[in-house]
Structure formats: C-alpha cells, structure tokens
Amino acid sequence: EREYELHTNLGPKKLGTAVLLRRGIRASRIHFEPEGRLISVELLGLNMVCLYAPSGSEAKLKRDDFFRFTVPAYVLASKNPAIIIGDFNTTEELGQRRGNATRPKDSVALVVALKEMVKGLGISDVWNLLRPTEDGFTFPQLAKLSLT
C-alpha cells in the first residue's frame, strides 16, 4: 500500500473501475463517469481510460450508447494521446468470441457500436498493430502467451 496509490470510481450500483499508480507518478487530472463504468487519468502526456462496458444482450442499448457517446467524451476531453483498456464486453469483429448454447456468438448488431467508436476515434488494438497477419486481439492472445 505504501508503494501504490489507488484511484477508484465506484458507481451507485457498486459497479466500478480503478487505476493503480506507483507512488511518485502523479495524475494531472482524473475524471469519473457517474455510473462507475469509466475512469480517465491523465499522466505522463497520456490519457489512460479504463472502462467496464455494460454486458449482456439485454444491455445492448446501454452498451451502444456507452461506446458511441460516453467513451468518446472521456477520450476527447484530453488533447493527449489515449490508451483505452478494460472490459469491453464485446469484440470488434464477429467470430472473435466463442459462443455456446447459453451464450451465442456476437451478432452484427452487437459489434457495430464498438466498430464505430474504433473508427471514429482512430484507435486500434495493439495486438493488430504488432501482428497484422495474425487473427485475434490483445486479451486472449496475451493470456495464451502467458500459459506457454
């Protein structure tokens, strides 16, 4: 606890996001989304945005609004380059998420808002930048690498 400083954003429904910074790294600005689903921290010339998107098919409209309006508002609030991390609860492309009988694969409707946000903000997954010829995206690929 003496080596790190924790910044949390806990919303009214006990949903939350957090950023843990090593002591001595000072955030110049911290912004909290009211529902606890996003925290934005400006530091070292970057805007770090940590998010937890609404999940489930019943929350599709909330997730769409989150990607179309909420995330861009917090990313564009700073002139610094942004790094966006967290749980998106969907993928940018169909087929990147395994489905089963109780959780089918994403439909086109579920990925549209994320694709629009990615295109509108001009962002891309680091995995795709580093390995343009390989399928995938950062989280499951890093999980596979850590197991080998």
Is the four-CA dihedral 128, 129, 133, 139 of positive or negative sign? Answer: negative
For 68, list phi and psi in degrees, rounded to 5. Answer: -80, -30
Residue with tokens 């990615």: 118
What does each of the 148 residues of the chain score in pLDDT, given as a tens digit? 789 999 999 999 888 999 999 999 989 999 999 999 999 999 989 999 999 999 887 888 999 999 999 999 999 999 999 999 998 887 655 444 444 444 444 455 667 888 888 889 988 777 778 888 876 656 554 445 544 4
Q: Taking the CA of residue 138 as centre, how many other CA atoms within 13 Å lie in the half-sphere pointing to its CB?
A: 11
Judging by beta carbons within 10 Å of its beta carbon (0-12, 13-18, 19+), is residue 111 exposed, middle or buried? buried
